[in-house]
Structure 1
Amino acid sequence: MRLLHLISSVDPRGGGPIEGVLRIHEALVALGHESELLSLDDPASAWVRECPVPLHAVGPSRTSYMYNANAVAWLREHAARYDAVIVNGLWQYAGFAAWRALHSSTTPYFVYTHGMLDPWFKRRYPLKHLKKWLYWPWAEYRVLRDAAAVIFTCEEERLLARQSFWLYRAREVVGSYGTSEPPADAAALTEVFLNRFPELRGKRSLLYLGRVHEKKGGDLLIDAFARVAADAPELQLVMAGPGDEGLVQRLASRAAELGISARITWTGMLLGDLKWGAFHAADVFCLPSHQENFGIAVVEALACGKPVLISDKVNIWREIEQDGAGLVAPDTLAGTIDTLQRWLALTPAAVAAMRVAARRSFRDRFQVGQVAETLVRIIGEHTPGSGVASTPSRPRRTGAGTLPEGQ
């Protein structure tokens, strides 16, 4: 197959979606398929120049919505070259551009929502949700309704997606998601990281790695760490990732109030060897998120044999708990304290067993090669004339309302 991945931006600060796209691209190529990216970035952007895969950047785009008139024209001109287009994410122009260009064409498109229909956003940002309702019927609803399939990364995401808008219709498919094997030289990568942050030598580090965003529960982690820090003087909390400067400052101020500033290392965004070195140097990965569709960083930690301490709002928490690859609790201060205390109470033998379970969980569930194979199968099953025998499912509808088919 020849596939085109459509994403608003390849900026690595975007977190999990672009990281996932890059890893799936690699796996598809390894399976013998052709894979390219289309983004709405300015071609002069540094992250476009540094993108390691074939990329068509049709920006620059205007406004935070990433409106870009070039996207529709480009897709209409070139879509016939591809067997399918894979849209990544909602709420920016990329998805609507795909609908405008492709919904009446012979090239099917598929959508990964990446958790962007999670009802947490509706509860947390009710005014933004009302604003989204203004264009939901005329944009995102149609994007989902007319997609060959909407691919959810796990069953939890599929069920939650039905709760945000009563006007909802989609051909729902539960696929899989994951990442590639990490670089193999753990000792060398650990040294790269510790050389950059020497204050971590000889410490046991609790690693948070990802965007610093209020949904990620960084405040819970800092408050919970303050509760256990005095009883575990060898622990150091590592806060790694880009984020809003105002939020980072508020979290740092909170740490100062709690008297634990010296016990927290703020690294900023980590890429390449530094990122993998942070995983390998860590004792455990922590993410008490209020909303997390999948959590690429969670899976990257598992790939490095690191147990994970997560909330039950990380949508793969059931798989983690079932595999014994980490500890799970509610996304509250009490829940976050509980996972840290239970982790600290584990015997060395129990910790070693959890590390083995973490690695096994990644190998059995989240290797990107399996993800790519599943994606190819889904595309084949939902693409007429692909040669894959299947009966495409009819659109499932939740709630009382739909628009007429021609709208």
Structure 2
Amino acid sequence: MKILRVIWSMDPKEGGPCQGIRNSVPELAKLGVYNEVVSLDLPDSKFIAGESFTIHAVGPRSGPWSYNAKLKPWLLENLQRFDAVIVHGLWQYHSYATMKALSQLKKQNPAISIPKLYVMPHGMLDPWFQKAKGRKLKAIRNWVFWKLVEGKVVNHADGVLFTCNAELKLARETFRPYHPLREINVSYGIKSPPSFSDSMRHSFLSACPDVKEFPYFLFLSRINYKKGVDILIQAYSIVLQECMARNKTLPKLVIAGPGIDSGYGLPLHKLVSENTLLSQHIFFPGMLSGAVKWGAFYGCEAFILPSHQENFGIAVVEALACSKPVLISNQVNIWTEIEEANAGIIEEDTLNGIVNMLKKWMELSEAGKEKMGRSAKNVFNTQFAIEPAALQFLKGIQQ
């Protein structure tokens, strides 16, 4: 089977969709499935070099819609080489171009065989995006796009692919008309991380030397309003002062990821840097990858992600794979699986919720934390490993 993935960008800074492709393609190759990717990145982008699969970068893209005049001609020339095409993500030109190219091919020659079209929204149909504070204009834009473009893409595709059952159900609440031909929970997973080594720890400590040998919580994701970083810092400050008053030691907080130089990230960095107490406990090492990232995971006491909306949470699963308990909000779509496995602490995505989360962790005994870590590894092996996820993915698109 040959699959074409169409995505706006393979830049790791763009978040989970491109990482999901990088996780699944090598495992699908073991099952005899051939994949290529076409993206709107610049051909000389550094993050494309060295990949084990073919990426056709036809960028650059321009404007808020990520328009690219080269994409549709490329699709018209190449689509017939594939059995299926998967559009990753919505609200960008690549979904429209794929639909139009397939339609044009069919009109030109009704007898030809064209690939099946699947759409993988990666949480972009979640109702949070239409209701969240500060997104009123974007919500109106999305409704317009839905009526003009995306509704047709979703409802006319051969199937819509979801990473978990919670995402599938939430997608039904957001837009009308919504009547996809098939809704398919194809699951999601990651490959097992490399085994821990001292070089990983040294690499991380070089990137974040202020942590030294102190215990720490790890936040590793985009520094963005959706991720709840602002309430995380507020909650941490509250619990830190309470711990100091009781002569207890709260682990440091490492906030790693791109976006610290954004309009959202800069005020948070300033808030911490100008506060003597917080600046000694909260650190921003930037985006971490490779051995540095795995050193951060293996060295942390627990992973924390208080997101207001999280389709799946690859970083959450990476933490589980490293036997680390996860402290997450109940807006991370895989929270029920984690709670049932006792692999973490789940709370509301509010200031009080995150305060309670940190306090619950501090009340756990060392034996309780170790047990939760073992449960984290177990739930990764049974529900989020790449091998069963790849099989479920293939089964979903072959039905």
TM over 0.5: yes
Aligned to 2:255: 239
Per-residue CA shift, 1:78-101, capped at 9, x if unaligned? 111111111111111111111112
Deviation at 1:234, TM superposition (A): 5.2
> 1:265 maps to which residue?
283
Of 146, 150, 162, the match for 1:140: 150
Q: C-alpha separation between the residues in 2 aligned to 1:162 and 1:250? A: 36
> Hey, what's the Cα distance between the residues in 1 that align with 2:347 and 2:365?
20
- Alpha-carbon contact 2:26-2:52 (below 8 Å) kept: no
- Take 2:72 and 2:207, find their aligned partners in 1: how far apart are those partners? 45
Asked if the contact 1:43–1:49 (Cα under 8 Å) also holds between the matched residues in 2, the reply is: no
Alignment partner, residue 370 of structure 1: 388
Matches for 1:8-407 after TM superposition, within 5 Å = 8-49=8-49, 51-103=51-103, 104=106, 106-124=114-132, 125-170=135-180, 171-230=182-241, 231=243, 232-233=248-249, 235-243=251-259, 244-255=261-272, 256-257=274-275, 259-381=277-399
- Deviation per CA, 1:316-350, whole angstroms, max 9, x where unpaired? 11111011110000000110011111111111111
Distance in 2 separating the partners of 1:186 and 1:169 = 49
Bigger drift between 28-37 and 214-223 goes to 28-37
Residue range with higher mean Cα deviation, 163-172 or 267-276: 163-172
2:388 partner amino acid? Q
Q: Retained in 1: the 8 A contact 2:306–2:328?
A: yes
Matches of 1:166 and 1:135, distance apart in 2: 12
Contact kept in structure 1, 2:204 and 2:292, CA below 8 Å: yes
CA contact (8 A) 1:177 1:366 kept: yes
Deviation at 1:152, TM superposition (A): 1.1
Letter in 2 for 1:340: L
TM-superposed deviation, 1:269: 0.7
Contact in 2 for aligned 1:7/1:94 (Cα 8 Å):
yes
Query: Structure 1 residues 180 and 45 mapped into 2: Cα distance closer, same or farther (>3 Å)?
Result: same
Identity percentage of aligned residues: 42
Q: How many residues align?
A: 381
Q: Which amino acid aligns with 2:218?
A: L
Cα deviation for residue 257 of structure 1 reads: 4.7
Give the secondary-structure state (helix, strand or coil) at the position aligned to 1:168. Answer: coil
Aligned-pair CA distance for 1:130: 1.2
2:146 alignment partner AA:
W
Give, in angstroms, the shift of residue 112 of structure 1. 1.1
Asked whether the equivalents of residues 203 and 234 of structure 1 are also in contact (C-alpha less than 8 Å), the reply is no
SS where residue 20 of structure 1 aligns?
A: helix
Distance 1:49 1:17, change over 3 A: same
Asked if structure 2 preserves the Cα contact closer than 8 Å seen for 1:3 and 1:86, the reply is: yes
Deviating more after overlay: 249-258 vs 165-174? 249-258
Displacement of 1:14 in angstroms is 0.6
- Mark the runs of 5 or more structure 1 residues left unpaired by the alignment: 382-407
Taking only aligned residues, the RMSD between alpha carbons, in angstroms, comes to: 1.6
- In structure 2, the gaps of 5 or more residues are 107-112
Moved more, 115-124 or 225-234: 225-234
Report the alpha carbon displacement of residue 377 of structure 1 after superposing the two structures with TM: 0.7
The 8 Å contact of residues 207 and 285 in structure 2, kept in 1 or not, is answered as no
Displacement after TM superposition at 1:260 (Å): 0.8
Q: Compute the displacement of 1:246 (Å).
A: 2.3
